Chains A and B, each alone.
Chain A
Amino acid sequence: MNPAPLRLPGPTEIGDALRRRLQELAFRLGGDRLRERLAALRVHTNEFGQDPFGMDLDYVTTALGPLLWLYQQYFRVQVRGIEKVPPGRCLLVSNHSGQLPLDGAMIAVAMLMYAEPPRAVRSMVERWVPTLPFVSTFFARAGQVVGTPENCIRLLESEECILVFPEGTRGLNKVFARRYQLAEFGQGFMRLALATSSPVVPVAVIGAEEQAPALVNLEPIARLLRMPALPITPTILPIPLPSRYTIYFGEPMRFEGHPNDEDRLIEEKVQAVRSTIQSMVKVGLEERKSIFF
Chain B
Amino acid sequence: MNADRPAIAVTGICGNLGRVLAKLLHKEGQPIVGIDRRLFPGKPKDIEFHQVDIRKRKAEEVFRKRNIGALIHMGIMHDPRMSAEEHHQFNVLGTAKALEYCARYGVKKLVVLSSANVYGPHPANPNFLTEDAPLMASARFGDIRDLVEVDILAQSFLWKHPEVETVILRPVHIVGPTIQNAPSRYLRLRRPWVLMGFDPMVQLIHVEDACRAMIEALRPGLRGVFNVVGPGEVSLSAIFKELGVQPVPIPHVVARPLLDQLFKMRLSNFPPGELDHIQFQGTVDGSRFLKATGFRPKYDLRETIWAALR
Contacts and interface: CB of A to CB of B under 8 A. Distances in A.
Interface in A134-173: 134-137, 140-141, 145-146, 148-151, 154
Contacts of B251: 133
B82 interface: no
Nearest to A134: B197
A276 B263 CA distance: 58
A46 B233 contact: yes
Contacts of B123: 127-131, 136, 146
Contact of B301 (A46, A131, A134, A148): A46
Contact of A133 (B196, B233, B301, B302): B196
Nearest to A45: B232
Interface stretch (A18-26, A50-58, A86-94, A179-187): A50-58
A48 interface: yes
B127 interface: yes
Contacts of B242: 48
B280 interface: yes
Interface string A55-96: 000000000000000000000000000000000000000000
A46 B232 contact: yes
A164 to B, nearest CB: 16
B42 to A, nearest CB: 35
Contacts of A52: 127-128, 201, 232-233
Contacts of B241: 48
B233 A47 contact: no
Contacts of B234: 46, 48, 50
B280 A130 contact: yes
Nearest to B253: A133
Interface residues of A, number: 27
B127 A151 contact: yes
B257 interface: no
Q: Is the interface of B mostly helix, strand, loop or mixed?
A: loop
B308 to A, nearest CB: 17
Given A46-B301, A50-B238, A133 B127 contact: no
Nearest to A53: B127
Given A46-B233, A146-B124, A133 B252 contact: yes
B281 A151 contact: no
B131 interface: no
A158 to B, nearest CB: 11
A133 B198 contact: yes
Interface in B294-308: 300-302
B126 interface: yes
A127 B122 CA distance: 10
A48 B241 CA distance: 10
B277 to A, nearest CB: 13
Given A133-B251, A150-B130, A151-B127, A47 B301 contact: yes
Interface centre among B195, B232, B242 (most CB of A within 10 A): B232
Contacts of A145: 127
B197 A133 contact: yes
Nearest to A130: B123
B199 interface: yes
Most buried by B among A46, A129, A134, A140: A46
B238 to A, nearest CB: 4
Interface string B223-263: 00000000011110010011000000001100000000000
A46 B303 CA distance: 13
Contact of B235 (A50, A129, A133): A50
Interface in B263-310: 280-281, 300-302
A137 B197 contact: yes
A160 to B, nearest CB: 13
A145 B233 CA distance: 15
Central interface residue in A127, A133, A140, by most chain B CB within 10 Å:
A133
B232 A133 contact: no
30 contacts: A47-B301, A48-B234, A50-B233, A50-B235, A52-B127, A54-B201, A54-B233, A54-B235, A127-B123, A127-B124, A128-B123, A129-B123, A130-B124, A130-B280, A132-B197, A133-B198, A133-B251, A135-B197, A136-B123, A137-B198, A145-B127, A146-B126, A148-B125, A148-B126, A150-B126, A150-B130, A151-B126, A151-B127, A154-B126, A154-B128
Interface of A: 46-48, 50, 52-54, 127-137, 140-141, 145-146, 148-151, 154
Given A127-B124, A151-B128, 15 more contacts: A46-B232, A46-B301, A47-B301, A50-B233, A50-B235, A50-B238, A52-B201, A133-B198, A133-B251, A136-B197, A137-B197, A137-B199, A146-B123, A146-B126, A154-B128
